[in-house]
Amino acid sequence: MTKVRKVLVAGGGVGGLCAAIALTSRGVEVDLVEKRPDFNVPGVGLGQPACALRVYREFGILDEILDTGFSYNHMSIFDPQRTLIAEHRFLMGGNGLPAFCALSRSSLHSTLYRRALSLGVEFRFSTEVAEFVGPLGTAVRFNDGSEADYDVVAGFDGIRSTVRQFIVGDMFGPRPSGIGAWRIQVDRPSCVTGMEFLQGIDGKAGAIPIAQDKMYLFNIRPETPGEIFPREKLHVLLKERLAQFGSYVAEIADSLTPESPIVYGALEPFIVPYPWHKGHVVMGGDAAHIVPPHLTAGAAMAAEDGYVLAKLLLSGDGSVDDRLTAYGKVRFARNAFVYTFAREWLSMEQSVHSPADLAAAKDEYARNADGRIAVADRILDAFEC
C-alpha cells in the first residue's frame, strides 16, 4: 500500500478545513492554500444535521459548536400568514446529539480553523494552484511562482473550482436554475424555535435559529440568472419580495434599511458523477456537488467528504487510485441522494404559481410532508465516524 505522507488541500471552507483536520489527525502533513487574503467568511448561517455533528464530535469540537449555536429537533411548514400546515420531528441524532445545530458560518469556520491550526496544518492565504504538473498532477505550481510536490492534492475549492476544471474540464459544473436565495441575519423572535418554511406563491420564506438571540431569514424564489442587484437597493428589493408574507416576516420586511446585511446568491445545483479524481488530484464539497439548501446539508456533505477522504486514503487497501475511486464512489452515492431529494423539494415548492396551486400544495404537505422528510432523516442520519 502506497503511503500518503503529504497532502495539499486547496480551499479553506468547511470541506477543506474538515479534510485538513481529518488528515493531520491521521499523521499526514497538510498544506492548505486559500485564495482569499484572510478568513473573513461571507454568509449567514448553517444548519448542521446530526451526521455533520458526528464529524465535529470526532474532531473534538462538538461542545464548542453546540455552545455557540442553536439546537433544534423539529421543523414546521406554514402558509404565507404563518398558519401551520405540517410539523415534523426529525428522526436524527440521539445519544447526546441533537437532530440539528445551526450557527453562523463565521462561528463554525473559526472553530474549525482553530482546530486545524492546533493540529499543525500550514495555511497559505492569497494562494491558488496555477498548474497541476506531472503524470499524477501533484507537482504543483502556485500563482506566486513557487512549486511543491505532494502525494495527493485535495480540491475543496468551492463552486468555481480549479481542481474540478483539472479533473473533468467543463463537462460537469454549475448551471443556472433560475432560482435565487435571499438571506439576512436578524434577532430571533421567540416563536421561531426550529427550522421553518412559509410556502408562498412563486417562492417561500423561512427562518433558521442560529443562536439564542439570532436567526436568519431567507426567501427562495425565481430570479433572472446572472442578475447582479445593486447593494444599495437590496433592502427595497427584498421588502418587495416578502410582501405576500405575514407574521414576523412582515415585521422584518418593514424594518429593512440600506444598512441591512442582506446576502443574495443564485442557486446553481449540479453533481459530478464519480470518479472524483484524476491522477492523484481529487475533489469534494461544493467543488463536486452543489445541492439546493432544502435539507440544509451542503456544508454537512462537505464535512463528511473531508472526513471520508482522509479515512479511505489512510486506511483503505490497494493503490492510491483504488482508494480515491472508493472515496468517489461512496461519496457520489450519498451526495446524489441529497441532491435528488433537495432538487425535488425545490421544484415542488417553486411550482406554486397561483392560489389554486397553493391550496393543492397545502393539502399535499398536510398529507405527506412529515413522512417524506422522515425518509430523508433516516438516510441523512445513516453516517457514522
Closest CA to 324 of 289, 273, 278: 278
Closest CA to 132 of 164, 108, 106, 109: 164
Stretches 72-80, 112-120, 151-159, 231-239: which one binds ligand FAD (CB under 6 A)? 151-159
* DSSP letters spanning 23-72: HHHTT-EEEEE-SSSS------EEEEEHHHHHHHHHTT-HHHHHHHSEEE
Does the footprint of ligand FAD cover residue 196 (CB under 6 A)? no
Does the footprint of ligand FAD cover residue 162 (CB under 6 A)? yes
Which phi and psi angles does 64 have, rounded to 5°? -60, -40
Does the footprint of ligand FAD cover residue 297 (CB under 6 A)? yes
* DSSP letters spanning 69-84: SEEE-EEEEE-TT--E
Cβ atoms within 10 Å of 144's Cβ, excluding its own? 10
- Nearer of residues 181 and 348 to ligand FAD, judged by Cβ: 181
Q: How far is the CB of 257 from ligand FAD (least distance, A)?
A: 22
Which phi and psi angles does 138 have, rounded to 5°? -100, 0
Q: How far is the CB of 44 from ligand FAD (least distance, A)?
A: 8
Residue 146 CB partners (closer than 8 Å, separation 6+)? none
Does the footprint of ligand FAD cover residue 35 (CB under 6 A)? yes
- Nearer of residues 35 and 329 to ligand FAD, judged by Cβ: 35
Q: Give the amino acid at 349.
A: E
Stretches 41-49, 169-177, 337-345, 348-356: which one binds ligand FAD (CB under 6 A)? 41-49
- Binder to ligand FAD among 59, 123, 156, 339 (CB under 6 A)? 156
- Nearer of residues 182 and 248 to ligand FAD, judged by Cβ: 182
- Binder to ligand FAD among 8, 10, 103, 112 (CB under 6 A)? 10
Does the footprint of ligand FAD cover residue 20 (CB under 6 A)? no
Does the footprint of ligand FAD cover residue 158 (CB under 6 A)? yes
Closest CA to 176 of 220, 222, 226: 226
- Nearer of residues 41 and 330 to ligand FAD, judged by Cβ: 41
Cβ atoms within 10 Å of 373's Cβ, excluding its own? 21
Q: Which residues sit at the interface with ligand FAD, rule CB under 6 A?
A: 10-16, 33-36, 46-48, 128, 156-158, 162, 181, 183, 265, 285-286, 293, 296-300, 302
